[in-house]
Structure 1
Amino acid sequence: MNVDPSVPVLLVKIGHYPLHHGAVGVVRTLGRLGVAVHVIAEGRLTAAALSRYRAGQIVWPTTGAEPAEHLVRGLREIAASLPGRAVAVATDDEAAILLAEHAEVLSEHLLLPPVPPDLPRLLASKHDMFRLCRRHGIPVPESRLITSLDQIDEIAGELTFPVVLKNSEPWLRLAAPAVSRSTVVETPGELRELAATWPAAPYTLVQEYLPRSESTDWIAHVCCDAQGNAVVTFTGVKVRSWPPHVGVTTYAYSVANPELVSLTTRLCKETGYAGVADLDWRLDHRDGKYKLLDFNPRVGAQFRLFETDAGIDVIRAHYLTLTGQAVPPGVQVEGRRIIVENLDVPARVAYRHAVRAYQIPEGGGREFAWLAADDPLPGLATAVRSARPIARRVIARLSGRKPSSM
């Protein structure tokens, strides 16, 4: 691949999550091209900071509860210290929102996609995403937003249970979360009981539940240019996740899906989205529609699942686009698989009785989230950090007990 790697990259994160395989993937995929990737990290022993391919590490711990002015000032100082204007890559929604809303200040030192300033916040918000999808004719599960505890009884009477609860606003999920993660609630009584523990203004989304027995989880990753046109688009099937059925992808495979590509690229084009994005879809077999569950306006943790036969993934496409270089043409590699080793151990236990209802295309190869022969330290660090929590979760699942948080 003929790439000019002279422009550095800054990996931007807000919040505390030291084990993030997407960050490691960014460092590796660009570092292998000779690009200098500088990592913002909670500490010097985080997985991405330990990669042999990172050019520099900046220890800058944040929680997401800091004032935006503080975060912008700190990020601007970090970017100004780099050797040249750098391509910014956000690994969480909060970072993507910060970069978009303060692009005028930050673009002095960072190369940023020209996304409308308010769009990443709208897309990352579960409720605003729902309204955007309705406006543009994109199928989406029925949803209601709870902004006051007084709404509980009304909403419980409008939706069919079970339902899924999600923190609607990205910043509030760090500062004052109503639920720790996407949570399935079986009855109105369970919803009321859970709501009693919420803050006065929870901003919680109550979303229609699409039955697992009658649906299939799909993933779409896209990189768009300044006009909202897709440079590359990838699709695949999510097989396992952790926590089961509602969490991070632990095993998935790539397969071309023209209908899903069309829906994804149309939504990006019509909203004017620019940059990389990770979308979670669910095919509802009851009506045959793909319904958008989440739009993440940043790189997805499992992005290395996807690449073209020219060796292009969404991050390489993003780098080439922002630095004014041509993206080599190519088609998606079929049957490529990704395994998130530490999380797929408990996920395999949880899914051990699941009926396999998919056929993986042959010949696509396999990608591990952490293990790499040319970059062993991130995998070793993750194994050490994960060993005890994984053992606890596996034992809990086998014994039928509900596992504690990881």
Structure 2
Amino acid sequence: MKIGRYPLHHGGVGAIRSLGRVGVPVYAVTEDRRTPAALSHHLRGRFVWPTTGSEPPERLLDGLTRIAGRLADRGGRAAVALPTDDEAAILLAEHAPRLEGLLTVPAVPAGLPRALAGKQTLHELCTRHGVPTPGSRLPRTRDELELAAKELTFPLVAKNADAFHRLSLPAVGSSTVLQDPAALERLAAHWTGELPRVLLQEYIPAADSEDWICHLYCGSEPDGSADLVCTGVKVRAWPARGGVTAYAYSTANPGLAELSSRLCRAVGYRGACDLDWRLDRRDGRYKLLDFNPRVGAQFRLFQTDRGIDLARALHLDLTGRRGRLGAAGYGTPVSGRAFTVETLDLPARAAARAGRRSAELPAEPQWAPPSRPSARELAWTALDDPLPALAAAIRSVPPAVHVLRRALRSARRRGRAA
């Protein structure tokens, strides 16, 4: 389940396929009947429930309760809830008592997913627990905005600070790199009245950094025996700086895995999560950029030698089936897998060739990109499930045209300025 309208969401399709292929009856909450997720061959059923994220929490909870009740009546037991966006994870955590008996969710502290998804509250948690993170400010007034511009070092990244607000009152369309104070002034010129909740975060230069991702399932056992931790490198993103993963590969990074696990244990997190890290080569430290308290969109990049990914680990643990795996447990994460989002990687490649990269590739030989990936995972294309890719291709045309027109307008403006 997710909250908000963004039908081109490959993470949900990945979860449907992963669980459906091993015989789990999967149901999805969709915006309409023709979204890519709604058309998956591996889906047992769908609940069309269009939301925007601006609805009152009680209304969202009522809708979720009705869906969960219908599932419980149909299956005779509570379904396992798998959130694929931050808003759904927050709703499930904050209202878990009311959903008890209808949905099975990890035993996470009620307010923790909201704190982890919030950019400034995440910064505060990292500072409290000794986890490196870039400097950031959440200005509330024009005076605080001017002070942040003076005290922080440019370039800066502007991000929507909170879940739900990013859907109802977004300050920026996506993470936006501001090269200088003039760029911040141009962005702020559109803000009238009270400032939107936008985080200003120091940007680690692409030439001095590496982009890493860590996906975890933090299980029900205090000793960590139900955990699964996987690490990889983000090679390309779209938009080129600050966007979502377009191409990545998996590789074992024990130090980063331990740092990620330590943070999750320190704050008491349970469930699936997706952490974005940037290695700052200037001081050799991994700095946490984002913590998504749910299954990440590119989670299918990671799989163990026993075929377990994060969605399957969560299902096995929450249904009490993990013990059937025996002493080997989930198995060992496989290095050298590759993941591509077909609809995003073409423009991401073009941006990389034009010199617009968010970070460099790892310099250490043991983390070099695989010349021949052990497996290639595509976000949309699957021989046993062709319709989601077709639907995604059709729905990608209008956004692609919009991006092309914006690029052409920008090129014309640069030409006139020259």
* Residue in structure 2 matched with residue 317 of structure 1 by the alignment: 313
How far does the alpha carbon of each residue in 1:292-313 deviate from its partner, in whole angstroms, 9 at most, with x for none?
Answer: 0000000100000000000010
SS for the counterpart of 2:81 is strand
* Residue in structure 2 matched with residue 210 of structure 1 by the alignment: 204
The alpha carbon displacement at 1:339 in A equals 0.6
Contact 1:166-1:179 at 8 Å conserved across structures: yes
Q: Distance in 2 between matches of 1:221 and 1:136?
A: 20
Contact 2:303-2:309 at 8 Å conserved across structures: yes
The alpha carbon displacement at 1:122 in A equals 0.3
* Residue in structure 2 matched with residue 8 of structure 1 by the alignment: none
* Residue in structure 2 matched with residue 166 of structure 1 by the alignment: 159
* Residue in structure 1 matched with residue 99 of structure 2 by the alignment: 106
How far does the alpha carbon of each residue in 1:275-322 deviate from its partner, in whole angstroms, 9 at most, with x for none?
Answer: 000000000000000000000000100000000000010110000010
* Residue in structure 1 matched with residue 13 of structure 2 by the alignment: 24
SS for the counterpart of 2:185 is helix
Q: Distance in 2 between matches of 1:395 and 1:330?
A: 47
* Residue in structure 1 matched with residue 180 of structure 2 by the alignment: 187
* One of 125, 128, 132 as aligned partner of 1:135: 128
**Quick one: which amino acid aligns to residue 162 of structure 1?**
P
Q: Distance in 2 between matches of 1:394 and 1:142?
A: 34
**Quick one: which amino acid aligns to residue 96 of structure 2?**
A
| TM-score normalized by the length of structure 2 | 0.90
| TM alignment of 1:76-91, pairs within 5 A | 76-82=65-71, 83=75, 84-91=77-84
Of residues 391-400 and 292-301 in structure 1, the stretch that sits farther from structure 2 once superposed is 391-400
Q: Distance in 2 between matches of 1:284 and 1:227?
A: 33
Contact 2:313-2:330 at 8 Å conserved across structures: no
* One of 24, 36, 50 as aligned partner of 1:35: 24
Residues 237 and 399 (structure 1 numbering): CA distance in 2 closer, same or farther, change over 3 Å? farther
Contact 1:144-1:155 at 8 Å conserved across structures: yes
Q: Distance in 2 between matches of 1:193 and 1:383?
A: 34
The alpha carbon displacement at 1:388 in A equals 4.9
* Residue in structure 1 matched with residue 365 of structure 2 by the alignment: none
Of residues 255-264 and 147-156 in structure 1, the stretch that sits farther from structure 2 once superposed is 147-156
* One of 36, 50, 55 as aligned partner of 2:44: 55
Q: Distance in 1 between matches of 2:153 and 2:195?
A: 23
Contact 1:36-1:54 at 8 Å conserved across structures: yes
* One of 342, 367, 381 as aligned partner of 1:371: 381
Q: Distance in 2 between matches of 1:169 and 1:161?
A: 22
Residues 265 and 357 (structure 1 numbering): CA distance in 2 closer, same or farther, change over 3 Å? closer
| TM-score normalized by the length of structure 1 | 0.93
Q: Distance in 2 between matches of 1:205 and 1:395?
A: 28
Q: Which has the higher helix share?
A: 2
Contact 2:89-2:113 at 8 Å conserved across structures: yes
Percent identical: 54
TM-align CA RMSD: 1.9
Contact 1:349-1:398 at 8 Å conserved across structures: no
The alpha carbon displacement at 1:198 in A equals 2.2
How far does the alpha carbon of each residue in 1:348-405 deviate from its partner, in whole angstroms, 9 at most, with x for none?
Answer: 11112459745323442100000000000000111111135436646876997399xx
Contact 1:346-1:390 at 8 Å conserved across structures: no
SS for the counterpart of 2:290 is strand
**Quick one: which amino acid aligns to residue 310 of structure 2?**
V
* Residue in structure 2 matched with residue 360 of structure 1 by the alignment: 369
Of residues 151-160 and 326-335 in structure 1, the stretch that sits farther from structure 2 once superposed is 326-335
| TM alignment of 1:3-402, pairs within 5 A | 12-82=1-71, 83=75, 84-199=77-192, 200-227=194-221, 229=224, 231-326=227-322, 327=325, 328-354=329-355, 357=361, 359-361=368-370, 362-390=372-400, 393=403, 401=411
**Quick one: which amino acid aligns to residue 123 of structure 1?**
L
Which structure 2 residue ranges, 5 or more long, are not aligned?
363-367, 414-418
How far does the alpha carbon of each residue in 1:175-224 deviate from its partner, in whole angstroms, 9 at most, with x for none?
Answer: 11111111111222321231132251312111011000110100000001
The alpha carbon displacement at 1:346 in A equals 1.0
Q: Distance in 2 between matches of 1:391 and 1:187?
A: 29
Contact 2:8-2:35 at 8 Å conserved across structures: yes
**Quick one: which amino acid aligns to residue 268 of structure 1?**
C
**Quick one: which amino acid aligns to residue 17 of structure 2?**
R
Which structure 1 residue ranges, 5 or more long, are not aligned?
1-11
